[in-house]
Structure 1
């Protein structure tokens, strides 16, 4: 995610072949657990994910009406809009627009340089966010959507180098373990960021203080990014073309040849479509259906994240140096069953599980999610040729955010359906289960080793 008139890269290896070693720095690589560069990149990702999810959850809580607001609007013969979909679409659109050019930069320049530059930009965006919350009375929710768009831009330029640098700086055999650790810390950051957002609440008069913390976190993330190992550009002679903002024809040609890689990209997009639906559904369930406050709603959201790092470690361990289709199948079916349970009706609030019953089910859903996504993430990193990795990973980000936008649209449609037909908000979980069901039943990536 090679450009201009260079020949197309060779096709991915056959199923019987071990994946080739990625082009990486010439120095001898230390063991993964003793690799300062890997842990620096992991810390950078942790701090970035913390900031992203703190700010995004603050916006989603602002956008979600409470049960009291919904009841008051109903008494007036009106509806209280749920604006979560608007926030998700703005954030995702920014990433979608700039991920293509970010992928080009990730191959043209050193990924380390792009990572550090992205982290400096994060400091600026977080400072703008603090100013935005201070001026919320003047700019309103619409003004904060502009800040959210800037956050999306920064995320777009950080995505391709942060994932593309892993295959360049560690052994191929370590990719499953490294991705498990990387994703584990990512989702731990999501938990902390989400819970802190709930503790701050959705009162714009006080949440600016949280934005000040975000600035400090961004500064720390910039410092840890300096630990990342220096790597040469993968394709420094590449020239920019207009379609680098979209999908380069070389990447399209590669995907046509490599059906396995194409399917992995489609599944990741479907997965993030599902994640978009579920993250909004949990907020809607908590505030709009169960009548929870911001803190308890965010705890419910964070509970989903508790299981994900556990699942990432399990997924990395079960993969054990290979892409394992059985791991994918088990994870996908666990997601389907968990979401099906979350959609059941009954009880006082028309939700059978309620707040406390939802917690263990969401933990299981999180574990299943981690088990499912690690092997697919590894496949997208390992299958492309070395000089195409940056743009293929950028393309993965693009299709993922297309999925997130579609998920926001589907969630908005499900809310409209629930309001029109007087159905509970947890109906959205059933929609999510239906999205994952075909993947659980039919998708099986080819099993292959990841030896150096």
Structure 2
């Protein structure tokens, strides 16, 4: 069975993904083992530190880990473009082993200054790894595998962070905890390096690049380049906002647990576990919900969930707890606390749905020669937004807000940011409407869509059964499709927003509006010359009886003007569904005969341009559709 047939979990057995996945997961795990062990050591293990000293070192640790992202990300992005990536990863993992050996020295000496320096080096290693981490995936995975690959990486990363944090704290609390931590971080670093040796080669994407060692000017240059692709820029800002929201949210969780839930540290661990599992579940759901393609329609769905359950969390427990020191077992016995757990789980799930498509979008929409540098710029913005989250929390809490009120403000800010982003790039909202419409009304089985070329111009032709045929095809074909459609369908309210955003081409009959017809043919020719895929319904009108009508010769005129391959397609089982003329929703206010219909979308091998004729294409589509209207 191929990787494609097995889905995202099949990648775990593929050499082009599995060694990288293990390397990345072990790295995230090891970082958090050491970081939390260091926090426990500072808080409980070093004699002579006053409470002020403890606060100083805890905040200094957070700052020292994040500082390298500002200092070195821009350079790391350039290095990732210029050199072969698998060798870079192995070099970075060797650097991790050195860092962990230094950590052992710091633990033996009990020197806080030394350990703070080690933490800075760990942040540096993470900053170097970040651009390689996301830019290597598009070189090893097919486009339809990117969502699944990113989902596995994000799910494993959050779970590794959780497990590493828990293990680091637990080991440090044991007798001879420093020795246990020393052994663990070194062994895991060595295992990570051994896993990295299995990563296949990934050639440099810009081998002639001259590295600019000035982080300020290079960072500014990266941001300027991102501005040339608005969708990528907004995706980067969307990811950074997620880290702002997540950092503000998670940083308040311990105090929220203590003050509002009355729980102890075991309840904090329980809540973090539930939230992390939610992120993992949401990430893994992305592939199933997106149909193996980069479906940015899931991003608005994710942002809606983040806001709804962020607001719901406020109402779950807005007041201070009447009791304190409640353990996890007692916490779970109270039914009222289950509401908080569900809110956290669903917040995590929608967070996963939000973040995975954005990373995949950056990987697919950015130029390969600049991808690592864009990801480096993204990492810098992520760090900046996380620092901003800490400052906003400090300001709002000092202004008198309670923690539940702060979380409520964050959820409402999330809604405002979402509206702002989707107003700037309506493609996000358009894809969400398409995704919601199709998956609410239909269950779709797809066959032969691999016949549609991955690159270059092509025309697809299909039978015309319903008002939403273009949405069904466009929502399931990996490449963007510019559909030619009857102008009255193009103007249907709500659907018109979707069609305009997808750059559909309205057309009218020669007797209705000859100028619009000629403009449509000119637009089709320009789209094909630009390398786009154009979708045509050669019948010229929706079927009134479920049968395929005669294909009109307009398709022959298109191919004569711009010779490109033509892919025959057929929709099966759509007649009688809500948007077909059998249940004409434009004229009849009644329930459809069939809801959540099972339909099929079938494609055949491309027809060369020199063999295209309307009659032959009609025969091919009839054969594809068969007896299932």
Question: Partner of 2:555 in structure 1?
Answer: none
| Cα displacement (A) at 1:186 | 1.4
1:396 pairs, out of 369, 378, 381, with: 378
CA distance, structure 1, for counterparts of residue 396 and residue 238 of structure 2 = 22
Cα separation, 2, equivalents of 1:239 and 1:322: 35
Change in 2 beyond 3 A, CA 1:227/1:121: same
1:394-417 deviation per Cα after TM superposition (whole angstroms, max 9, x unaligned):
111111111122122223334544
2:348 maps to 1:362: no
CA distance 1:248–1:147, change in 2 (3 Å): closer
In structure 1, the partner of 2:15 is 36
Question: Is the partner of 1:47 in helix, strand or coil?
Answer: helix
State the Cα deviation string for residues 83-134 of structure 1 (Å, max 9, x = none).
7554333211112211111101000111111111111111122222233334
Q: How far apart, in 1, do the equivalents of 2:360 and 2:104 lie?
A: 36
Give yes or no for contact 1:98–1:245 (8 Å, CA) kept in 2: no
Deviation at 1:154, TM superposition (A): 0.5
Calculate the aligned-residue CA RMSD, in Å. 3.4
CA drift of 1:321 comes to 3.8
Q: Compared with structure 1, are the counterparts of its residues 249 and 362 closer, same or farther at alpha carbon in structure 2 (3 Å cutoff)?
A: closer
Looking at structure 1, the residues matched to 260 and 119 of structure 2 have their Cα atoms a distance apart, in angstroms, of 26
Match of 1:438 among 410, 416, 423: 416
Contact 1:331 1:370 in 2 (8 A): yes
Structure 1, unmatched stretches of 5+, are 1-30, 66-71
Partners in 1 of 2:201 and 2:262 — Cα distance? Answer: 51
Contact 1:114 1:157 (8 Å CA) reproduced:
no
- 3-state SS of the aligned residue for 1:240? coil
Candidates 260, 265, 273, aligned match of 2:231 = 260
Q: Retained in 1: the 8 A contact 2:162–2:273? A: yes
**CA shift for structure 1 position 39:** 0.7
| CA contact 1:201–1:207 (8 Å) conserved in 2 | yes
Alpha-carbon distance in 2 for matches of 1:253, 1:37: 33
Q: 2:275 aligns with which of 294, 304, 322?
A: 304
Aligned to 2:28: 49
CA–CA distance in 1 between the matches of 2:343 and 2:39?
22
The structure with more strand, counted as a fraction of residues: 2
Q: What does residue range 150-165 of structure 1 map to in structure 2 within 5 Å?
A: 150-165=121-136
Partner in structure 1 of residue 105 of structure 2 = 131
The 5 A counterparts of 1:196-207 are 196-200=167-171, 206-207=177-178
Cα pair distance change 1:105/1:80, threshold 3 Å = closer
Give the TM-score normalised by structure 1: 0.79
Counterpart pick for 1:375 among 348, 357, 371? 357
Among 185, 199, 208, the alignment partner of 1:214 is 185
Give the deviation of 1:272 after TM superposition: 0.9
Seen in structure 2, the aligned counterparts of structure 1 residues 393 and 333 have a Cα distance that, compared at 3 Å, is: same
1:284 corresponds in structure 2 to 255
Structure with bigger gyration radius: 2
2:343 aligned counterpart, secondary structure: helix
SS in 1 for 2:208: coil
CA 1:286/1:203 → structure 2, altered by over 3 Å: closer, same or farther? farther
Work out the CA distance in 1 between the residues paired with 2:62 and 2:175. Answer: 19
**Distance in 2 of aligned mates of 1:81 and 1:204:** 25
Greater length-normalized contact order (CA 8 Å, ≥ 6 residues apart):
1
User: Partner of 2:154 in structure 1?
Assistant: 183
Deviation digits for residues 162-183 of structure 1 (CA, Å, limit 9, x no counterpart)? 1110001111121111111121
Distance 1:80 1:120 in 2: 32
- 1:238 aligned counterpart, secondary structure: coil
- The yes-or-no answer on 1:166 pairing with 2:137 is yes
Q: Is 1:101 equivalent to 2:75 in the alignment?
A: yes
Quote the Cα distance in structure 2 between the aligned partners of 1:415 and 1:82.
Answer: 19
Q: What is the Cα deviation at residue 200 of structure 1?
A: 3.4
Mapped partners of 1:86, 1:398: distance in 2: 19
CA distance in 1, matches of 2:171, 2:406: 27
Q: Deviations over 1:199-229 (max 9, x none)?
A: 2366897255224212111111111111111
Native 8 Å contact 2:299 2:357 kept in 1: yes
1:90–1:274 Cα change, 3 Å: farther
Identify, as 1 or 2, the structure richer in helix: 1
